[in-house]
Structure 1
Amino acid sequence: MALSTSLHSPVKIVSDWFVRPHRIPPGYDQPIHLPPWDMAMLNIHYIQKGLLFAKPTEVADPESFMSSLLDNLRHSLSLTLVHFYPLAGRLATLQRMDDGDKPFYTIYISCKDSPGARLVYATLDMTVSDILSPTYVPVVVQSFFDHDKAVGHDGHSQSLLTVQVTELEDGVFVGCSMNHCVVDGTSFWHFFNSFSEIFRAFTGGKTDFEVISRPPVLERWFAGNRKGPMNLSFRDAGEFLDRFEAPVLQERIFHFSAESIAALKARANRESETSKISSFQSLSALVWRSVTRARKFPAHQVTGCRLAANNRHRLDPPLSPDYFGNSITPVRTSATVGDLLGNDLGWAAWKLHLSVANHTSEVLMAWNENWFKTPAIYKMLETFDPSSVMLGSSPRFNKYGNEFGMGKALALRSGYANKFDGKVTGYPGREGVGSIDLEICLPVSTMAAIENDPEFMGAVTV
């Protein structure tokens, strides 16, 4: 079995287990057919996000602490999978030739006979300070996650979910790696929050520890009252897989206080003579302008800013906020470098606002109709061009509310997955109350330029 660490990684795998639901829920043996928004992710890396905790100082016996933590996590994961049982399955392919030699090729989730989700225990002879003190995120953090460089299609043979627990000398990292064909960011953190909620109830001695506050809606949504299976019209996976390898990048976390975010929002709305521009649109405009300036593109070059948009509330009628699956598409805004940098922050923020406002139910239904006519799988090299930036995840997700008996996490970190030149990931700041952390990935020279950009660094909070 492939491990998440390379031969040269200092992270050592101690043990691992496969975990199935505590009890078999209704529908567990039935195939789960994937709609277009899920299918489109077959070539995209797993989502890899996790939390770094300090070991509780009152622990007298570290070995006993870790043994107890792992036992509690394993049992809590089993209980959580009762609600999120698709994560205990594997992908499967149904393939046949129809009349006229027309290929029928579809992929679905099968939980029947699956070994379950994976739980990994690993160790690392480093400290919390070794991880958090450097200016740039250490490469070793990538080894805190399973499914290194795996894409959605690899869920045929690999777990759809792995929880990796990495013990440091004075800390613990709890990282989740989840197949992007099965979940988007909203569903990823819905699972993580429920996992933490069940852990808290189970270890707290509650008798109803299997109950969660937000049960997921597992029935997949298909546009136009269609039902699965959906035909991809391929003959084999080689027609759509293109293993993306990221270039050499630096990764840095930039912090923006609530006061800094409020000032950016006020500035963008003032310059655009409106009150409609949001905090995140203002911050996204700042990043778009600053990264573009750092790249030193010519004025005629077209550059773009993509925002990963949650579609649940945009559909008419809307999907439940607890819909479990992918309901996400990128919203792209473009401009020439000359226009983007020749105008003010408000001009860029207003363009982003209009793109988001025009991302309507009609647009989403048209996307689905086009997919039914010509099924397409996202390819990193085609989807994320090097002249653009893309902002993913969301600072609105409840990320620091997951504690697992160790108190509030010290930091959020991510793995290798879906990193490229210009990828930006939004996290809530640890202090909350409107603060935001941005994880920005750039080549060395571009990172150095943005770190010397007065407009950008003037908004960053030390």
Structure 2
Amino acid sequence: MSSETVKHVSECFIKPKYEVQEAEQPYYLAPMDLAMLNFHYIQKGLLFMKPSHINDQEFSTSKLLQSLKESLSLALVHFYPLAGQLSTCISKTRHECLVFVDCNKGPGARFIYATLDMYMSEIMAPVDAPLVVQSFFDHDRAINHDGHKRPLLSVQVTELKDGVFIGCSMNHVLIDGTSYWHFWKIWSEIHRANGKQLLVSRLPNHKRWFPDGYGPAIPLPFTHPNEFLSRYEVGQLRERIFHFSQESIARLKSKANKESNTNNISSFQSLSALVWRSIVRANCLSEDQITNCRFATNNRQRLDPPLPLEYVGNCVTAMITTTTAGELLGHNLGWAASLLHQSVVNHSDKIVHKFIDGWLQSPFVYRPGKMFDPYSVMMGSSPRFDMYGNEFGLGKAVAV
């Protein structure tokens, strides 16, 4: 199985179907965007079973690819910055630079068609995620700063023997998870409309958010990428996907709430507490070792006034819960889940602005290699993202 490789068959670039007037202006980046320049692209994909027929017609790969390209071109009208590239202007008088999106720079979003001589079961059944899955994405190992030369969005459609994998690599400087899956939703809606008149359910909001007195252009205190660039590699790791049934999650949530004598702990907080405790236990940490559990937290509705849910960009910071390994394992699941719950309750507009104000006083770019310690856990993505609601005439996805 490991000897099978993904073969690229064709490639093209997709521009927005219509000219977007706003694309003539620089697309400026906010503090929570600029801090992400060293992070990797967001890369997620949906695996669909290959149908025998679509709309009473025999399945055709070429027709599917054409319809995906056409709907992608229309989706890019609404997400026009993804068709551009990053640009940097260096000040001639100060030690600083301005990084922004030039929406008219570059050839557009890349669209790749590839094939893999494997069955879906060979991808989903193994205990470890097969290495070949990394080849389902165009930007594996790329960091966001690479968006100066690489496309900000790459779509790769990989055809298996009995399935179709649609993968999107999207620059994390422009979008966070909320914006990422908003793009998928709009693309899916346009594709399902199949050329018919469509009123998109939730249009993206590109009005950039800046703290009072700042913007629209916020410089970084650097004149050369070497001053802040950091490529973080950890070598070859085993990747494991765990599946929790709806019934298991319900029991876990009930147990956490019962042990905490409350009804406020969510399913996600209960599961996160389980994972955190399991990892700390497996690593046999000393009782006095400090350990953190971080949540990537959506701040749109925590700001005052709140941002619209459709706001495009990064509106995420890390919410940190801290204890010792001894305390974490010396108490039950409910105790750990209640710690996480309290951190969520405390994560307010005041906390978000404290981070933003500190960043504005001393702007920085995250360095993942120094940001995370080996005794902590980071929870990314969100159970609230409607991943399986995105369909492209292939039925509902069987896996993300």
Q: Which bracket does the TM-score occupy, shorter chain normalised?
A: over 0.9
Asked if 1:69 corresponds to 2:64, the answer is yes
Q: For residues 283 and 137 of structure 1, what CA distance do their matches in structure 2 show? A: 21
What per-residue deviation string (whole Å, max 9, x for no partner) do you get for residues 178-221 of structure 1? 0000000000000011101100002xx52x14x31110001111
- Give the drift of 1:403: 1.5
- Give the drift of 1:225: 4.6
Q: For residues 7 and 232 of structure 2, what CA distance do their matches in structure 1 show? A: 26
| Map of 2:51 onto structure 1 | 56
The answer to whether the 8 Å contact 1:9/1:143 transfers is no
Give the % identical residues.
54
Asked if 1:316 corresponds to 2:304, the answer is yes
Spell out the pairing of 1:87-106 with structure 2 (5 A cutoff): 87-98=82-93, 102-106=94-98
Secondary structure of 1:166 counterpart: strand
Spell out the pairing of 1:32-43 with structure 2 (5 A cutoff): 32-43=27-38
Aligned with 2:172 (options 180, 193, 205): 180
| Map of 1:448 onto structure 2 | none
What per-residue deviation string (whole Å, max 9, x for no partner) do you get for residues 377-433 of structure 1? 111111122111111101111111112111011111xxxxxxxxxxxxxxxxxxxxx
Secondary structure of 1:253 counterpart: coil
Q: For residues 389 and 320 of structure 1, what CA distance do their matches in structure 2 show? A: 29
The answer to whether the 8 Å contact 2:85/2:105 transfers is no
Spell out the pairing of 1:164-243 with structure 2 (5 A cutoff): 164-202=156-194, 205-206=195-196, 208-209=197-198, 211-243=199-231
Q: Structure 2: any 5+ residue segments left out of the alignment?
A: none
What per-residue deviation string (whole Å, max 9, x for no partner) do you get for residues 353-383 of structure 1? 1111111101111111111111111111111
Asked if 1:21 corresponds to 2:21, the answer is no
Secondary structure of 2:220 counterpart: coil
Asked if 1:303 corresponds to 2:291, the answer is yes
| Map of 1:30 onto structure 2 | 25
| Map of 1:145 onto structure 2 | 137
The answer to whether the 8 Å contact 1:89/1:112 transfers is yes
- Give the drift of 1:240: 1.0
- Give the drift of 1:172: 0.7
| Paired residues, number | 398
Q: Structure 1: any 5+ residue segments left out of the alignment?
A: 1-7, 413-462
Q: For residues 228 and 58 of structure 1, what CA distance do their matches in structure 2 show? A: 50
Q: For residues 180 and 9 of structure 1, what CA distance do their matches in structure 2 show? A: 30
| Map of 2:124 onto structure 1 | 132
- Give the drift of 1:300: 1.2
Secondary structure of 2:20 counterpart: coil
The answer to whether the 8 Å contact 1:52/1:171 transfers is yes
Q: For residues 346 and 224 of structure 1, what CA distance do their matches in structure 2 show? A: 40
Asked if 1:159 corresponds to 2:151, the answer is yes
- Give the drift of 1:64: 6.9
Q: Which amino acid aligns with 1:146?
A: D
- Give the drift of 1:273: 1.9
Q: For residues 269 and 11 of structure 2, what CA distance do their matches in structure 1 show? A: 42
Q: For residues 104 and 242 of structure 1, what CA distance do their matches in structure 2 show? A: 18
- Give the drift of 1:257: 2.0
| Map of 2:107 onto structure 1 | 115
**CA-based RMSD:** 1.8
| Map of 2:374 onto structure 1 | 386
Spell out the pairing of 1:252-401 with structure 2 (5 A cutoff): 252-401=240-389
- Give the drift of 1:9: 6.9
CA 242–63 in structure 1, closer or farther in 2 if over 3 Å, else same: farther
What per-residue deviation string (whole Å, max 9, x for no partner) do you get for residues 270-319 of structure 1? 21222221111111111100110011111111111111100001001110
The answer to whether the 8 Å contact 2:51/2:59 transfers is no
Q: For residues 255 and 15 of structure 1, what CA distance do their matches in structure 2 show? A: 34
Secondary structure of 2:380 counterpart: strand
Aligned with 1:85 (options 63, 80, 87): 80
Q: For residues 168 and 36 of structure 1, what CA distance do their matches in structure 2 show? A: 41
The answer to whether the 8 Å contact 1:30/1:112 transfers is no
What per-residue deviation string (whole Å, max 9, x for no partner) do you get for residues 52-79 of structure 1? 11110247xx997110011101110000
Secondary structure of 1:248 counterpart: coil
Structure 1 segments, 4+ long, off by >6 Å, are: none
What per-residue deviation string (whole Å, max 9, x for no partner) do you get for residues 243-273 of structure 1? 1113332222212222222222222122122
